[in-house]
Amino acid sequence: MKKVILLIVAGLFFMSGAAIAVPSGKTLEFTKSPMGKVTFSGTEHAEAGIKCKECHNPEMFPKMKQGTVKITMSKIYAGELCGKCHNGKRAFEAKKNCARCHKH
Ligand code: HEC
Ligand code: HEC
Ligand code: HEC
């Protein structure tokens, strides 16, 4: 019996640890645009099969810290940052889908 409880406790500890530490479970909010808040879901991007390095590399988002890169639409339309994928090929095109990112 003791062993079972220990296993459950260990399991719960592991799960809660994962929820805090695994950034794929994280959500980032970008609130500076007059078009409305953009919510970035780490889970959705991980589920789309995207690896950390595809975004966290020197050309895109070098630091795993929010607020270090200024995101603008001109960069996105030029195929940089979020626009590297949100170009109508790998993911929905930014130009035609404002409201899929910007929500009020
Ligand atoms: C689709 C792009 C993308 C992918 C994939 C991605 N990230 Fe991020 N991540 C970002 C962006 C954008 C930021 C904010 C960077 C900034 O503002 O400078 C960020 C920020 C973070 C932060 C800081 C969060 C905070 O609250 O400051 C951590 C930690 C992080 N990422 C870890 C990871 C890990 C680990 C992976 C892989 C499991 C991953 N990311 C995959 C785009 C991505
Ligand atoms: C490495 C490629 C890649 C990058 C970089 C990337 N995304 Fe995505 N994103 C995807 C894919 C793939 C999907 C899921 C497929 C789709 O919805 O077209 C997705 C889905 C989304 C969704 C879900 C939309 C919906 O209607 O379900 C939002 C919102 C989003 N991305 C915002 C962002 C933002 C903001 C950034 C930049 C901080 C970003 N993405 C960077 C590939 C990427
Ligand atoms: C793939 C997600 C995504 C899509 C689609 C998208 N945006 Fe953005 N947009 C962002 C992010 C992320 C920011 C940065 C917000 C911040 O820094 O708080 C931003 C910033 C902005 C800004 C303020 C900065 C600037 O460049 O002027 C405006 C205005 C804006 N978006 C308008 C639009 C319009 C209009 C559309 C549709 C034609 C659109 N966005 C589509 C993600 C997106």
Instruction: Judge if the beta carbon of residue 41 lies within 6 A of ligand 3.
Output: no
Give 64: exposed, middle or buried? Use CB within 10 Å, 0-12, 13-18, 19+: exposed
Report how far residue 20's alpha carbon sits from residue 6's, in angstroms, rounded to the nearest whole number: 21
Is there a domain that residue 76 lies in? yes
Confidence of residue 88 (pLDDT cuts 50, 70, 90): very high
CATH code of the domain in which 69 resides: 3.90.10.10
Is there a domain that residue 44 lies in? yes
Instruction: Tell me which ligand sits closest to the C-alpha of residue 91.
Output: 2
Rg (CA), the chain: 18
Is there a domain that residue 10 lies in? no
Q: Which of 30, 32, 35, 93 to mutate to test the pocket of ligand 3 (most atoms within 8 A of CB)?
A: 35
| Structural domain total, the chain | 1
* pLDDT recorded at residue 5: 52
pLDDT tens column, 10-65: 444 444 433 333 467 789 999 999 999 999 999 999 999 999 999 999 999 999 99
Distance 98 CA to ligand 3 centre (A): 7
Q: How many CB atoms lie within 10 A of CB 15?
A: 9
Is there a domain that residue 59 lies in? yes
Instruction: Tell me which ligand sits closest to the C-alpha of residue 85.
Output: 2
Domain that holds residue 58: 24-103
> In this structure, what token pair is assigned to residue 77?
């339309």
Instruction: Judge if the beta carbon of residue 85 lies within 6 A of ligand 3.
Output: no
